[in-house]
Structure 1
Amino acid sequence: MPEGHTLFRLARDLTGAFAGHRVRVSSPQGRFAADAALVDGSLLLGAESAGKHLFVELEHERLIHVHLGLIGHFDVTTGAESVPEPVGQVRLRLVAATPSGAAYADLRGATRCDLVGPARRDEVLAQLGPDPLRADAEPDRAWQRVRRSPRPLGDLLLDQAVVAGVGNVYRAEVLFRQRLHPLRPGNTLRVGQWRAIWDDLVPLMQEGVRLGRIDTVRPEHTPEAMGREAREDDHGGEVYVYRRTGQPCLVCGRPVRTEVLAGRNLFWCARCQPRFRSRAVQ
């Protein structure tokens, strides 16, 4: 599933391509046809993301709410000489004429594409935890939930009501970087450890926006620094533990481990991320 940096980057690209222009809105596939007709020809004001949700804002307080789900993608093209016929199951198409040429964007495979108003956007935002990529994020809101919960950290970090935008890759990598076991209960964490997680997520996800991929290894663990082969994976980027089951940890050499938690694979290093042992008197 696309993580928060993908949606933030997409919102930026949509804003850059269409903001200030009137857009032709259509649904070649047909599933969004009735709503598309209502906003066809509208002025597009911009787009924003919140966690894994995307809102495309049009005039007259109308918004297109998109959630990409597991396989969705929203492809944005600018500076085209012409707009080609849609290919595949295009649920939503945006088209605009700009000074630099035609701009168009095609949405495929999304689990959600709805025309909503500001009240629905506010409702969605209220259900989400703080997003490390948003300037208005309040990390203490997430901490208040983490500190009271006996659920494992690996579970809490994927809960969008706790932290918005973090997916399986950022979860695995930030816990490794902070030397925290993914099965450690949230209510055993100290506030300083939570702040370290948050303060690591912010620049990691910002770098994901900049590069368009997830890179989490520190300079001393890059392929160039270690004299190793670059990672080959369809997710791209250099990582410590994500999808590296059985491979040697880049820090200590012990094989990376995996386990299923709430239907998703955890990845960690047993030496670098030792299991939490309570010091409380039994």
Structure 2
Amino acid sequence: MNKCALQSSANEKEDNQLTALIPEANKQREAEIQKAYETLQEDIRQSAVRAGRPADSVRLIAVTKNFGTADIDAILALGHTELGENRVQEMNSKIDYYTERNQLYSWHMIGTLQRNKVRQIVGRVAMIHSVDSLPLLKEIEKRSAEAACVTEVLLQVNISLEESKHGFTSAEIAPLLQKRDKFPHIRFRGLMTMAPHYDDPEQTRPIFRAARLLQEKLSTDLNLPDFDQLSMGMTNDYHQAIEEGSTMLRVGSAIFGSRYQ
């Protein structure tokens, strides 16, 4: 059985909508984006080394929400390949745009995913970061089975227990993973978490640390060597996330600037 691979979308193409999403980037903006991207990548590498980790141990998922293809092209030209989106419709439009140009990249679904949208992304994404409930997990299994492929997922854990945030509690994840044989078309790769927004990003440390300790315990206790990914850290708190063990950062505005509304 193959890992879910990129497939063509049945949705109508929305290139015109994408083109209108933001003004075409001029050379100055392209240069600004590329400089910001290179500065960020170097900072990530140095932060990893300072934390006693390999320089290449942290992956950057560039969040392209509300940014058009001209902006995205600026970092693709530098060799970046991993992109994150919060919304299914916008992500599929961008996948279609690049697929038509024979440009295939790794797309990550990082936003809240409704069950009725799962069929639209299975086979199109490298990973779903935001699996926050058992019904959603069952739907991903169902749609992946129909597509005869395996979908990689992260389980979203609500470490801070904020009512405004989605996700499993820490106590719910081990019992779920103990029943992983019921999900033969899903590959569980690790955890995703979001810290509250603090004025002082140092306050995120206990949350990121708790997520790492939970991920390590689950991997060891349940003999899951591939359960080794931690998606945590955004523009405001990625330094703390790296120091606490993040393997994937979800960063957009540090690259592209303020989002167009």
Tell me the TM-score normalised to structure 1 length: 0.24
Higher radius of gyration, 1 or 2: 1
TM-score, normalisation: structure 2: 0.25
Greater fraction helix: 2
